[in-house]
Amino acid sequence: MSIFDIFRSKRQIINKRFHNTINLFLKVYDSKPTMNDYKYFATVLDRSSSILDDHENYLREIAEEKKDFDLNTSIKLFKIGTQTPRDLSEQELAQLYDIINLILMSFKKITMRSYVERMSMALHVLFLNTGVMLDKSLEEKYIKLWFFYKDCLKYCEDFKYKKHLPDELVKLVEEKVLDIK
């Protein structure tokens, strides 16, 4: 967080994080990825699907540790935030960001570093999905990122874009990347 962030709204701060995250992800694409990069990111996409499929379990684990954690609200916000984030108020969006950070912190307790790294990146994949639905200025970069993801799909075991992306992003990816009309 920079000193100038104190003058920004929560939404502006989160939008800045969306932009920083997608720029970081695009560095892999811009560096001419190898087959190993595609396989690695396939596992990241697979882990993002497991987070979506098992988010209630992750949130329950947090609730067991943090007695003031509102499990029901967190489950609701996570589901809305990863499917239709425009339905969230600025305050709820900030809460979603906090929930994502709590999940991220829970991963850091795991000792197997390679697993933690993939799970952390997977959470960022979900964060970017939310971001592109909230900030249309990210769309061009997201499409570029998906040209990279497209080459990862053949290595994915669990991730199915039609199941694990929000409908809005399925349509965008099919139209702009997969050329499905």
- Nearest residue to 42 via CA among 123, 150, 144: 150
Mean pLDDT of the 146-157 span: 96
Write down the domain spans for the chain: 3-176
Q: Is 7 left (phi over 0), alpha (psi -120 to 50) or beta?
A: alpha
pTM: 0.89
The pLDDT mean for the chain works out to 90
Tens-place pLDDT, residues 44-102: 999 999 999 999 999 999 999 999 999 999 999 999 999 999 999 989 999 999 999 99
User: How would DSSP label each residue in 59-90?
Assistant: HHHHHHH-TT--HHHHHHHHHHHHH-GGGS-H
Of 129, 75, 132, 67, the closest CA to residue 103 belongs to 75
Quick one: what percent of the chain has pLDDT higher than 70? 96
Q: What dihedral angle (degrees, nearest 10) is formed by the CA atoms of 57, 60, 62, 63?
A: 170
